Structure 1
């Protein structure tokens, strides 16, 4: 059975630069799909192709069995006829219009007079807690208020698809968390279908029913958040999803070891495909999975212990962000302030320390970091209710 929203072989180039490369994508009704990746990976261009704001060179886009773009026949439905809602990074509110008029605009261009008469504008404003702001102008609003108005405008016409182009990027940390929670609650309550672009893994994990991790115009991994977090398909995905620590591994006659020569048993590690058939590999792990110790005797049984030297530390309230060096590589970790604060403050750069981690926290990849073939995982049965 075909998904309601499908993208097949989508290609977009600028001159000789391929920005979206033969991309395939399926979006389920009521699903909140997040396109995640660094700048230049093609995620925003993909979103703009869905919106009709960019014209691809090839492929097709279908909304509910209706082609809105077809590279073979050159069919290209304009944005205002695609029944989409759009929430931009820059808010994109009309400065000369009141909040009421900004929210009403999508209904006006669709000639939905009855919806306006029945209070759709006011209802949309209330869903984002902006009912008291309807007669103000954008310049009279805070950044958080402007973005909530933009969300109301994107939802007011009950579009087939709502597109979010990094809508939280211009907000400070506190407002970003507030608006993110509000978008999540709205999706749970209203069940709209959405594609959300971000480079922030925390946003992606919090909001997405599925994540599409993009690299060089292609999808590197397409899966539910839990699978992407626990089982990244490539070193690229692992690094982007928070496994910032990298260890180069080498296999000799006595087994695997780090660049510093420490033995490393990979029996309980998660090893991707070809990594176990080579003499060199790369391991990734999260800072939260690395522990700091004063001596080797403190290391829990079963953990890998590494002798290291202290590089730097930064106070973070209840923890310290610590950087150590082992061999040629640096590792980041978080140390409990109550347990390690006094010792860290008394230590100089270069002091000898011990760090450890469970082998099960490692994700090991072939040294070339390449991904291997993966079938997309379907979203949970309760689409729209991702916690």
Structure 2
């Protein structure tokens, strides 16, 4: 596929505060791209620049063969001429208009009279299961219905680019899953190009053809969801995509070990940026990578064993969420209630707990807490330049100290 949409060198400042910092972002035709990151990382500002709702101080934005923004040439195509569809977090429906008129509003603004006459509004309403709501007003709709109407309005004019600004965050969990699934099905059916902003990693993995994880106005990693999930390029990315357990590692006399002194084998771990010589590293892994055991004799062969103390446990029906402490590290795991529920019910904080994990579950990084990593992944560079001259992510091996 060709990168028909592109952001290059984008800079957006508010006073002395740089919110988007020299951002490059190629977007392929028909791609569903997700901008993922915490509040304040610059994802929504980037989306608003694409929409023409914000004016950057630097860079260019291109839609297919048309440059819609160029800071150097002082070119800035207004939002209503960019042929975009927009789905907002707050629905943004006109309260005095019926659903039919809300959906048809983009056609009216663009003076697409034929589309208004040929049933495009009814077709868009059918796509989101709202054909029975066309004569109602927004105040007569539930939150999920309003957001589906907003999606229909964003798609009705068949725009070049559809922009989603955290459209699911105001919905409850059940509706969020339903609307998310509907958006995914619509993209598969219609093949529109989309940029979707969210802070929710589950939404990003479910919807994205590619994910751009942002930090401090830059892209930390840009890749396909499975690559981001399996091979985070930094500790920041690992933490943000669900590797919430952080284990500090030190080089001991006989190899790597935790702050409590438990030995950790890194020969099968994915290690990035840890020097051959040095004293510290950080390992990340997910709660479901940790196993709870009644004793060391139950630990699978080859697993790393941690000797921990119970902090707390919470009942969740078929499972328990368990918090333990290992030296200076606090870790969380989820364990089946049927297997360990009886023991956990009688357990009290401070009791000894045996926990283990497979070394291959670890993603290990140099200990650079708080450091800002200025990095765009190899795949993003390839799309931007047409070259693939950088090495791919590889698993390095770290063993005993040199």
Computed over aligned residues only, the root mean square deviation of the Cα atoms, in angstroms, reads: 1.3
Which structure 2 residues correspond to residues 63-212 of structure 1 after superposition, within 5 A? 63-212=63-212
Distance change >3 Å, CA 276–CA 313, structure 1 → 2: farther
Question: Which runs of 5 or more structure 2 residues have no equivalent in the other structure?
Answer: 384-402
Q: Take 1:140 and 1:64, find their aligned partners in 2: how far apart are those partners?
A: 39
State whether residues 275 and 367 of structure 1, in contact with CA within 8 Å, keep that contact through their aligned partners in structure 2: no
Cα-to-partner distance string for 1:23-79 (whole Å, 9 max, x where unaligned): 000000100000000000000000000000000000000000211000101100110
Question: Which runs of 5 or more structure 1 residues have no equivalent in the other structure?
Answer: 380-387
SS for the counterpart of 1:211 is strand
C-alpha deviation, 1:276, in angstroms: 4.7
State whether residues 278 and 366 of structure 1, in contact with CA within 8 Å, keep that contact through their aligned partners in structure 2: no
State whether residues 143 and 171 of structure 2, in contact with CA within 8 Å, keep that contact through their aligned partners in structure 1: yes
Cα-to-partner distance string for 1:229-280 (whole Å, 9 max, x where unaligned): 0000000000000000001111133111111111111001000133554321
> Which residue in the other structure is 1:246 paired with?
246
> Which residue in the other structure is 1:292 paired with?
292
> Which residue in the other structure is 2:363 paired with?
363
> Which residue in the other structure is 2:393 paired with?
none
Which structure 2 residues correspond to residues 217-296 of structure 1 after superposition, within 5 A? 217-296=217-296
> Which residue in the other structure is 2:307 paired with?
307
Give aligned pairs, total: 379
Q: Take 1:301 and 1:189, find their aligned partners in 2: how far apart are those partners?
A: 47
In the alignment, is residue 374 of structure 1 matched against residue 377 of structure 2?
yes
Query: Could you tell me the TM-score, scaled by structure 2's length?
Result: 0.92
C-alpha deviation, 1:2, in angstroms: 6.1
> Which residue in the other structure is 2:59 paired with?
59
> Which residue in the other structure is 2:27 paired with?
27
State whether residues 34 and 212 of structure 2, in contact with CA within 8 Å, keep that contact through their aligned partners in structure 1: yes
SS for the counterpart of 1:274 is coil
Cα-to-partner distance string for 1:136-158 (whole Å, 9 max, x where unaligned): 00000000000000000000000
Q: Take 1:356 and 1:297, find their aligned partners in 2: how far apart are those partners?
A: 11
State whether residues 210 and 222 of structure 2, in contact with CA within 8 Å, keep that contact through their aligned partners in structure 1: yes
Cα-to-partner distance string for 1:108-137 (whole Å, 9 max, x where unaligned): 000000011000000000000000000000
Distance change >3 Å, CA 149–CA 373, structure 1 → 2: closer
Distance change >3 Å, CA 275–CA 331, structure 1 → 2: farther
Q: Take 1:144 and 1:275, find their aligned partners in 2: how far apart are those partners?
A: 51
C-alpha deviation, 1:368, in angstroms: 1.0
Q: Take 1:74 and 1:150, find their aligned partners in 2: how far apart are those partners?
A: 32
> Which residue in the other structure is 1:10 paired with?
10
SS for the counterpart of 2:378 is coil
SS for the counterpart of 1:30 is coil
Distance change >3 Å, CA 146–CA 10, structure 1 → 2: same
Moved more, 276-285 or 195-204: 276-285
Q: Take 1:55 and 1:273, find their aligned partners in 2: how far apart are those partners?
A: 37
In the alignment, is residue 333 of structure 1 matched against residue 333 of structure 2?
yes
Q: Take 2:65 and 2:312, find their aligned partners in 1: how far apart are those partners?
A: 57
Distance change >3 Å, CA 374–CA 349, structure 1 → 2: same
State whether residues 222 and 376 of structure 2, in contact with CA within 8 Å, keep that contact through their aligned partners in structure 1: no
C-alpha deviation, 1:373, in angstroms: 6.0
> Which residue in the other structure is 1:384 paired with?
none
SS for the counterpart of 2:94 is coil
Q: Take 2:236 and 2:54, find their aligned partners in 1: how far apart are those partners?
A: 27
State whether residues 31 and 193 of structure 1, in contact with CA within 8 Å, keep that contact through their aligned partners in structure 2: yes
State whether residues 138 and 146 of structure 2, in contact with CA within 8 Å, keep that contact through their aligned partners in structure 1: yes
State whether residues 247 and 329 of structure 1, in contact with CA within 8 Å, keep that contact through their aligned partners in structure 2: yes
C-alpha deviation, 1:318, in angstroms: 0.7
State whether residues 324 and 332 of structure 1, in contact with CA within 8 Å, keep that contact through their aligned partners in structure 2: yes
State whether residues 31 and 209 of structure 2, in contact with CA within 8 Å, keep that contact through their aligned partners in structure 1: yes
